Amino acid sequence: MAAEFSTLERNILRAKGLSDDQLGRLNELGIVGRNDFQTVGDLSTLLELMPDLDLAVAVRLLEWALPAAAPVVPVSAVKDSADALTGGEGRLMVDSSDSVYCVHCQFKQPKDYTPGDLCPNCGLQAEPIETCYWCGSTGPGRFCRVCGAAFVSTAELSLAVMLRRDGVAKDDIPPRLKLMGQSEKDALWGRVRRARM
């Protein structure tokens, strides 16, 4: 058994983020070679032995020292990714492509839902019928089913039409309306009112 890490192993450990003090601490603990990490076994044990060790450095260290093992991932990262997939309930939910959710309360609509119906959960129109600022057609959802433009709120429809007349590109109108300040919108509303006279 080697009394300390080889020169190559020390260079690799430094590249993984260990300082010379931490290398000395590993030697004091009896971890003097790559095989000794098999005895340590896992991330939590390594962090218990060396509490000052950065989590990311510990993960890189064990991935190098235990290449045959599964990738070393902190428990919190595994839980966060599982919650993202399962909604935090511990089971994976897969919806069909025709599932519709209420835009107000996110309640899943029944299978016999048709556009324009009221949500059984909140009583509001689950998918309001919107008017497209670009082609003038109407329909449910977030995008126009005729030209593909993203719907804007009904309150800002006239502003979007004015921007279209000014030559702003179809895909640039919704983000531009979101970025506009109130003074810019007021100026645009003045132009809309003058155009109606």
The pLDDT of residue 163:
92
Contact 127, 139 (CB under 8 A): no
Residue 2 belongs to a domain: no
Q: Which of 41, 65, 89 is the last residue of a domain?
A: 65
Residue 49 belongs to a domain: yes
Residue 86 belongs to a domain: no
Structural Rg of the chain based on CA atoms: 30
Task: Residue 28: give the domain boundaries.
Answer: 7-65
Residues contacting 173, CB < 8 A, separation 6+: 133, 134, 149, 152, 160, 163, 164
Residue 80: CB atoms within 10 Å: 11
Residue 1 belongs to a domain: no
Please give the span between the terminal C-alpha atoms of the chain, in angstroms, as a whole number: 93
Least Cα distance to 26 among 42, 6, 5, 41 occurs for 5
Which residue numbers in the chain have pLDDT < 70? 1-3, 67-95
What is the distance of C-alpha 96 from the center of its chain? 21
Residue 102 belongs to a domain: no
Q: Which of 16, 33, 65 is the last residue of a domain?
A: 65
In 64-197, DSSP assigns E strands to: 130-131, 138-139
Residue 42 belongs to a domain: yes
The pLDDT of residue 106:
84
The pLDDT of residue 18:
87
Residue 57 belongs to a domain: yes
Residue 96 belongs to a domain: no
The pLDDT of residue 1:
43
pLDDT tens per residue across span 32-69: 888 888 888 788 888 888 888 888 888 888 888 876 65
pTM of the model: 0.43
The domain tally of the chain equals 2
Write down the residue that tokens 């991330």 correspond to.
Answer: 43
